[in-house]
Amino acid sequence: MKHLIFWDFPRTSWQYDIVVALILAFIFLTPRAVFKDQPRAMSVVRVPVHSSVATFWIEADLLTASDDAGRLAQAGDIIFKKTGKAATVRRLETILSAEEETQGYMAFVDGQ
């Protein structure tokens, strides 16, 4: 057991190969659900809408301002960094989860 904990096997031994195989099996065969590791969506995404106003989804963590005007300004800056085009955010809608927690914002933009 001491050899296993301190990995004290010679590199070309069969014991070393077994430990490496066990590590690789753990990495590749353990399901994602064990670690609650799920793929994350992009934090800023343009949502296709059939209107003249462009719509963007912005993750809640990106807008840190406490007032509405500050969040509108932050949203405009974030969308400018994403698209490279100046835009005016006209409206932000808060998207809530079933537990009433803020999941993100829908930003409605002119000029895209």
Rounded to whole angstroms, how far apart are CA atoms 47 and 98? Answer: 22
Write out pLDDT tens, residues 21-67: 999 999 999 987 787 766 665 688 888 876 777 899 898 888 888 88
- 29 lies in the same domain as 51: no
Q: Where are the beta strands (DSSP E) in the chain?
A: 44-47, 54-59, 88-96, 102-110
Q: What is the CA radius of gyration of the chain?
A: 24
β-strand partners of 110? 88
- 15 lies in the same domain as 69: no
Rounded to whole angstroms, how far apart are CA atoms 5 and 110? Answer: 61
- 56 lies in the same domain as 82: yes
The residue segments making up the domain with residue 25 are 2-35
- 74 lies in the same domain as 105: yes
For the full predicted model, state whether its pTM sits above 0.85: no
Rounded to whole angstroms, how far apart are CA atoms 102 and 112? Answer: 26
pLDDT exceeds cutoff 90 at 17: yes
Count of domains observed in the chain: 2
